[in-house]
């Protein structure tokens, strides 16, 4: 494969490898402690709520911190709060809630989100809590990192025999439905990392850091690219590509593979890490074209040949 190589950087291969090795490691112990402090305080806030005490509530870490692909630019921690007393169902064609004997719940998602907001404000103070369309932002201080706290109810994807897989669902304040699969994402990531001698998650960090640096240095095709997309792109790279001895070569050959495959219709079937949502569909915030432009920009920026 040959890109139009207009390398921004003139660093040697060995210097890039040293940089990639440094990027592949996660944040230090102090940052992790501040992350844990934020999570524990959020759990404490929920546990102290009189309105939520009677509910089946789970507070869980999600996103890049939970999946250990966080980099320094991931300044906040993503926390989910799921109420499993109520679920939203996705039923096979010809089936509905009544088919399996379920009844409508009186406790709504709006009720739950309002109760979570009340609990967070009681714990952190009104000035520290900002309500967003999908999550609450908890401001950072010297003791804890900034946190995005997203309320969810359980989501169940049913089969015709009544069995189901479990995810989480929420509605934004403008009533847009959001379904996520955090447990499946986590388990798949752990499995791929083990099968690649822990190089998968380290390479995700490398690509995320490279994308962030490129964006900071004015590379347009790297701007606005979510770290989650970088993670999902590397998820779709076959495991044997991570067997190269250097991160420099792992990334080089991954870029070649991804760029070629994204030009084929078969990559329309690629999934997110959970393998329960398609990676490229109109509902996503990114496109295959954006991903390919990022890969070309990364190739040129590093100076691959």
**pLDDT tens for the chain, residues 1 to 305:** 455 544 445 688 999 999 999 999 876 677 677 778 888 889 999 999 999 988 999 998 887 777 777 776 655 788 999 999 999 999 999 999 999 999 999 999 999 999 999 999 999 999 999 999 999 999 877 667 788 999 999 999 999 999 999 999 999 999 999 999 999 999 999 999 999 999 999 999 999 999 999 999 999 999 999 999 999 999 999 999 999 999 999 999 999 999 999 999 999 999 999 999 999 999 899 999 999 999 999 999 999 98
Give the model's pLDDT for residue 246: 97
Spatial separation of the C-alpha atoms in residues 207 and 227, rounded to whole Å: 9
Give the model's pLDDT for residue 296: 97
Query: Has this prediction a pTM greater than 0.85?
Result: yes
Give the model's pLDDT for residue 10: 66
Spatial separation of the C-alpha atoms in residues 207 and 213, rounded to whole Å: 10
Give the model's pLDDT for residue 72: 64
Element holding 80 (H helix, E strand)? strand 76-90
Spatial separation of the C-alpha atoms in residues 251 and 233, rounded to whole Å: 11
- CATH class of the domain at 29-180: alpha beta
By the 10 Å C-beta count (0-12 exposed, 13-18 middle, 19+ buried), 190 is classed as: middle
Give the model's pLDDT for residue 140: 78
Give the model's pLDDT for residue 285: 92
| Structure tokens, 170 | 């929420």
What lies within 8 Å, CB to CB, of 222 at 6+ separation is 211, 212, 214, 215, 294, 297, 298
Give the model's pLDDT for residue 305: 87
Spatial separation of the C-alpha atoms in residues 238 and 253, rounded to whole Å: 11
Q: For 82, what's the count of Cα atoms within 13 Å in the CB-facing half-sphere?
A: 21
Give the model's pLDDT for residue 3: 52
Element holding 111 (H helix, E strand)? helix 109-124
């Amino acid at each position: 494969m040959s890109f139009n190589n207009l390398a921004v950087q003139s660093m040697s291969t060995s210097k890039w490898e040293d940089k990639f090795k440094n990027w592949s490691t996660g944040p230090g112990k102090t940052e992790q402690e501040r992350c844990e402090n934020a999570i524990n305080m959020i759990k404490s806030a929920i546990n102290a709520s009189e309105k939520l005490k009677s509910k089946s509530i789970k507070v869980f870490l999600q996103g890049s911190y939970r999946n250990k692909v966080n980099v320094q630019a991931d300044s906040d921690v993503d926390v989910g709060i799921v109420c499993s007393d109520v679920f939203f169902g996705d039923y096979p064609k010809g089936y509905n809630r009544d088919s399996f004997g379920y009844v409508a719940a009186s406790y709504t998602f709006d009720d739950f989100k309002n109760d979570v907001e009340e609990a967070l404000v009681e714990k952190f103070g009104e000035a520290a809590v900002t309500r967003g369309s999908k999550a609450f932002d908890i401001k950072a201080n010297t003791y804890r990192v900034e946190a995005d706290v997203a309320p969810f109810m359980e989501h169940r994807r049913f089969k015709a025999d009544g069995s189901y897989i479990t995810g989480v669902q929420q509605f934004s304040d403008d009533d847009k439905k959001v379904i996520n699969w955090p447990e499946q994402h986590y388990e798949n990531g752990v499995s791929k990392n083990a099968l690649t001698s822990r190089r998968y998650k380290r390479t995700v960090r490398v690509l995320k850091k490279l994308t962030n640096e490129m964006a900071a240095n004015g590379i347009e095709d790297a701007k606005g690219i979510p770290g989650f997309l970088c993670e999902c792109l590397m998820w779709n790279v076959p495991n044997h590509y991570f067997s190269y001895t250097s991160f420099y070569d792992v990334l080089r050959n991954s870029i070649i593979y991804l760029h070629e495959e994204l030009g084929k219709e078969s990559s329309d079937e690629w999934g997110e890490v959970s393998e329960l949502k398609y990676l490229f569909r109109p509902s996503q915030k990114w496109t295959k074209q954006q991903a390919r432009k990022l890969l070309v920009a990364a190739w040129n920026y590093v100076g691959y040949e």
